[in-house]
Amino acid sequence: MQTNPTYTSLVAVGDSFTEGMSDLLPDGSYRGWADLLAARMAARSPGFRYANLAVRGKLIGQIVDEQVDVAAAMGADVITLVGGLNDTLRPKCDMARVRDLLTQAVERLAPHCEQLVLMRSPGRQGPVLERFRPRMEALFAIIDDLSARHGAVVVDLYGARSLADPRLWDVDRLHLTAEGHRRVAEAVWQSLGYEPEDPEWHAPVPPTPPPGWTARRTADVRFARQHLLPWIGRRLTGRSSGDGLPPKRPDLLPYEDPAR
C-alpha cells in the first residue's frame, strides 16, 4: 500500500452494500461509500475513472459469475470486493463453498489491479443478526486469510464501534444511512494510504436520548411488515431484490458526481 497514493481508477464489486443502499439521492438513485470514495480519489487524480458493478442481493456465486471477470478485464488500479455476507444470511449456507468462491474471486482479481481491497463488513446488534453471527465471523476469517496470501488490504468495519450503532442503520436494519456510508468511505480512504479527513470515523456517535417504548414498538412493527417479512420471503423462495437489475456504473469511465 502506498502513502498518499495517486490511483487513477477504481472498480467496485459486490452487492447492496457496495451499490450504496440506503444512501438515497434526490433522483431516487443510491450513492453509497464507493461513490463517495471515487469522488475523493477523482479530486486527487484528473481523468480518474470509476465503475461500480455491484447489484443488491447478489450471492458470492453470482458475483463471481457476473462481476469478477468483468472487473479483472478493466485493469483498474484499485478493485474493492465485498461479498459473501448475503450467503451467510440464507437459511442454509455452505461455508466451504463460500470459501472456495471467495478464493476464486480473489485469485482472479488480485493479479489485475495494483491494490485489491477486501472488507470485514459492519454488523449492528439485534436478534435477527445474532443468529447468523458465527457464520459472519467465519466469513471474516476467510477474508483475513485470503488477504494475507494475496496482499489485499482488509478494511475492518466489523470492529468499528460507530458502525454498530443502530442510528447509523436505515429503517430496514440491513443497510447503512448516508452517515454510515460516509464513515465507510473514510475507512477505505485511509486504508488505501490517503491522509485522513476524519481520523475519528470509528469513534462512537455522541449519545442522544433513547426513543420511548411506544416509538420502539412502532418502529419494530413497521420494520417487520415492510422489511423483515419480505426479506424472509425472498430467502425462502430463492428470490433476490436485485433480480433483473443492471449495475449502476457498468463501464470504467471518467468519474462524474451524480449529486451535482
Domain with residue 200: its CATH number is 3.40.50.1110
Q: Specify whether 111 is located in the same domain as 227.
A: no
Q: Specify whether 143 is located in the same domain as 234.
A: no
Q: How many domains are contained in the chain?
A: 2
Domain boundaries, position 136: 9-207
Kindly tell me if the per-residue pLDDT of 249 is higher than 90: yes
Q: Which of 66, 69, 81 is nearest to 240 (CA)?
A: 66
Give mean pLDDT, residues 11-35: 92
> 201 phi and psi, to 5 degrees?
-60, -30
Residue 37 belongs to a domain:
yes
Q: Which of 47, 49, 64 is nearest to 13 (CA)?
A: 64
Q: Collect all residues with Cβ–Cβ distance below 8 Å to 197 and sequence separation of at least 6.
A: 40, 186, 189
Residue 246 belongs to a domain:
no
Give mean pLDDT, residues 232-240: 58
> 173 phi and psi, to 5 degrees?
65, 15
More confident: 215 or 18: 18
| H helix count then E strand count, the chain | 11, 6
- First-to-final CA distance of the chain: 31
Q: How far from 2 is each of 7, 114, 153, 191, CA to CA, in Å?
A: 9, 10, 11, 10
Q: Specify whether 161 is located in the same domain as 67.
A: yes
Average pLDDT across the chain, whole number: 87
The confidence band for 232, taking pLDDT boundaries of 50, 70 and 90, is low
* pLDDT tens readout for residues 50-99: 999 999 999 999 999 999 999 999 999 999 999 999 999 888 899 999 99
Question: What is the rounded distance in angstroms from the CA atom of residue 194 to the CA atom of residue 168?
Answer: 24
Q: Specify whether 231 is located in the same domain as 123.
A: no
Q: Specify whether 218 is located in the same domain as 119.
A: no
Residue 1 belongs to a domain:
no
Q: Specify whether 200 is located in the same domain as 102.
A: yes
Q: Specify whether 118 is located in the same domain as 218.
A: no
Residue 109 belongs to a domain:
yes
Q: Specify whether 160 is located in the same domain as 213.
A: no
Residue 248 belongs to a domain:
no
Residue 193 belongs to a domain:
yes
Q: Collect all residues with Cβ–Cβ distance below 8 Å to 228 and sequence separation of at least 6.
A: 128
Residue 93 belongs to a domain:
yes
Q: Specify whether 17 is located in the same domain as 139.
A: yes
Give the pairing of strands 153-156 and 115-120.
parallel
Q: Specify whether 217 is located in the same domain as 189.
A: no
Residue 250 belongs to a domain:
no
CA angle, residues 114, 120, 123, in degrees to nearest 5: 150
Q: Is 212 exposed, middle or buried (0-12, 13-18, 19+ CB in 10 A)?
A: exposed
- In what side-by-side order are the strands of the sheet with 249-254? 153-156, 115-120, 78-82, 9-14, 49-52, 249-254
Q: Specify whether 41 is located in the same domain as 104.
A: yes
Q: Specify whether 109 is located in the same domain as 23.
A: yes
Q: Collect all residues with Cβ–Cβ distance below 8 Å to 66 and sequence separation of at least 6.
A: 53, 55, 58
| Residue 201, pLDDT score | 96
| Residue 193, pLDDT score | 96
* pLDDT tens readout for residues 161-208: 899 898 898 877 688 999 999 999 999 999 999 999 999 999 988 776
